[in-house]
């Protein structure tokens, strides 16, 4: 059947390909929502998941999401041909895992190939993630999953680099922008560190969102190579290039559901490190013993996960060290892209009001990485930072990625609407609710609105007096700001004082 393309201003944000048929056309073809169709335009074709509507498209039209438009390079009112397509074979393998059966190499490769090609709907992907969460992956399944994710994307090949460093935090802590300090410290020490990072899904900012305040992060593999070969480092968004391509699609499903499958976590992290040909990797595992929402709640859990990282890393020739850190409160003062970028620049510029915990953690981790590689220690990392060499290197990286290396802290704007939350009594800060802090920052507009977020004026253990400011919320939208105040009034224990 030939249908006229209708360009829709709708997107799955790099997710599955979606097309919409008029219900009369769907009835004639005997197709239903979530069926698959093959769409052919010239020499290009894709398989899309179907939705049905009587209002969005007219009879004889086919509505196409932005991902389809981009892939087919098609314009409004051009004609396409459509054919009914069978469901991918890997659906049966997902069902198999739901029954707690072990998947073999071919079955795992089939699933990941369909993920990478956007052939699975979000519902089908969710079933796969849920199956891996409920029914633990075996060591062999994880190894095959790593290999499949690697095959789904490209590799960063750097010439004459015997040692390539990388680091990763398993997340769950607001702020925590240590990457943007560690990378320039190591790069200034002569260490090659091509860092691919994530955007936020349920947090107020990912490293990629924060780095984007200073420079573009959506770089091709070729551009990443140019940046790294010139500066020793980069900080880019992993989802913008072909490196471990299927992984970001799985993460997109995992995080909103908080389905942190250990097997998927191990495969995800290690595939990303192998895709940049890392040789030495530091894994940050924050432990939130007092936090209900922490990914890892005890040091015992953290040590168990550490062993698995190290054992699996050896299978792929990776030297891995694990850093078990405090994940009970935010790291840094700013929560939200611009606020976190300000924090990073203050540390790099050695400002008097720089966040001490962010600086200390970044130095500690950079020192561990230098020690792993045999190029120094914590003292060396501190010297590189405090001498200004790390800031000079960061400016080089920003410039090569296409940003303004001379951007000042004051040029990084904050939302024009704000309110401060004050302490209602004297006492010590006993707890800061990570999840609530992230939620308020997101309601204020972060990470899409880079000017939105929260600035924390206190840390756990601080002595505060009545009416001292605990935190300030920023937003570009007064209505969003008012809503964050409602959230705070519903839960005054966001910053607990006793």
So which residues are the catalytic ones? 260
CB atoms closer than 10 angstroms to residue 267 = 29
The answer to whether 454 touches 444, Cβ cutoff 8 Å, is yes
Q: d(Cα 425, Cα 88) in Å, to the nearest integer?
A: 61
Angle at 178 between CA 176 and CA 182, to 5 degrees: 175
Q: How far apart are CA 456 and CA 409, in angstroms?
A: 17
Side-chain-facing half-sphere of 358: CA atoms under 13 Å: 30
Integer CA distances (angstroms), 17 to 25, 58, 59, 95, in order: 19, 20, 21, 22
382: CB partners within 8 A, 6+ apart: 363, 367
Radius of gyration of the chain (CA): 24
State how far the alpha carbon of 483 is from the alpha carbons of 201, 249, 277, 479, in Å. Answer: 20, 31, 46, 6
Q: Cβ(455)–Cβ(175) under 8 Å?
A: no
Peptide bond into 447 cis (omega under 30): yes
Helix axes 245-257, 105-116, angle to 10 degrees: 90
């Amino acid at each position: 059947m030939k249908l006229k393309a209708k360009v829709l201003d709708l997107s799955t944000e790099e997710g599955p390909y979606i097309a919409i048929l008029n219900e009369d056309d769907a009835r004639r073809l005997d197709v239903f929502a979530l069926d698959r169709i093959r769409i052919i335009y010239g020499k290009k074709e894709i398989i899309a998941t179907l939705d049905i509507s009587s209002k969005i498209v007219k009879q004889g039209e086919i509505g196409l999401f932005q991902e389809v438009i981009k892939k087919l390079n098609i314009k409004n009112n051009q004609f396409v041909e459509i054919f009914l397509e069978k469901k991918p074979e890997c659906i049966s393998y997902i069902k198999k895992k739901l029954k707690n059966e072990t998947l073999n190499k071919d079955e795992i490769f089939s699933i990941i190939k369909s993920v990478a090609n956007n052939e699975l709907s979000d519902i089908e992907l969710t079933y796969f993630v849920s199956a891996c969460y409920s029914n633990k992956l075996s060591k062999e399944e994880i190894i095959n999953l790593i290999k499949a994710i690697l095959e789904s994307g490209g590799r960063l090949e750097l010439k004459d680099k015997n040692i390539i460093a990388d680091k990763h935090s398993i997340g769950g802590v607001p702020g925590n922008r240590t990457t943007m300090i560690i990378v320039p410290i190591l790069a200034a020490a002569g260490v090659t560190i091509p860092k691919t990072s994530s955007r936020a899904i349920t947090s107020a900012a990912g490293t990629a969102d924060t780095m984007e305040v200073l420079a573009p992060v959506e770089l091709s593999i070729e551009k990443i190579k140019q940046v790294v070969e010139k500066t020793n480092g980069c900080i880019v968004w992993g989802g913008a290039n072909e490196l471990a391509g299927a992984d970001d699609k799985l993460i997109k499903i995992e995080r909103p559901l908080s389905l942190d499958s250990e097997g998927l976590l191990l495969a995800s992290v290690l595939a990303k490190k192998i895709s940049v040909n890392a040789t030495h990797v530091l894994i940050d595992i924050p432990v939130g013993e007092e936090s209900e929402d922490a990914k890892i709640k005890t040091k015992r859990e953290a040590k168990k996960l550490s062993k698995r990282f190290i054992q699996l890393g050896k299978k792929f020739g990776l030297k891995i060290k694990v850093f078990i850190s405090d994940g009970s409160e935010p790291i840094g003062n700013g929560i939200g892209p611009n606020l976190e970028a300000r924090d990073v620049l203050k540390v790099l510029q050695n400002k008097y009001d720089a966040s001490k915990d962010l600086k200390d953690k970044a130095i500690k981790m950079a020192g561990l990485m230098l020690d792993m590689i045999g190029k120094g220690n914590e003292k060396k990392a501190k010297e590189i930072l405090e001498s200004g060499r790390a800031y000079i290197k960061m400016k080089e990286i920003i410039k090569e990625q296409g940003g303004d290396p001379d951007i000042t802290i004051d040029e990084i704007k904050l939302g024009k609407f704000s309110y401060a939350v004050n302490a209602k009594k004297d006492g010590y800060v006993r707890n800061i609710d990570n999840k609530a802090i992230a939620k308020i920052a997101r309601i204020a507009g972060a990470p899409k609105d880079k000017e939105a977020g929260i600035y924390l004026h206190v840390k756990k253990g601080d002595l505060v007096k009545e009416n001292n400011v605990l935190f300030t919320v920023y937003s570009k939208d007064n209505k969003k700001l008012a809503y964050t105040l409602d959230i705070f009034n519903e839960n005054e224990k966001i910053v607990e004082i006793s």
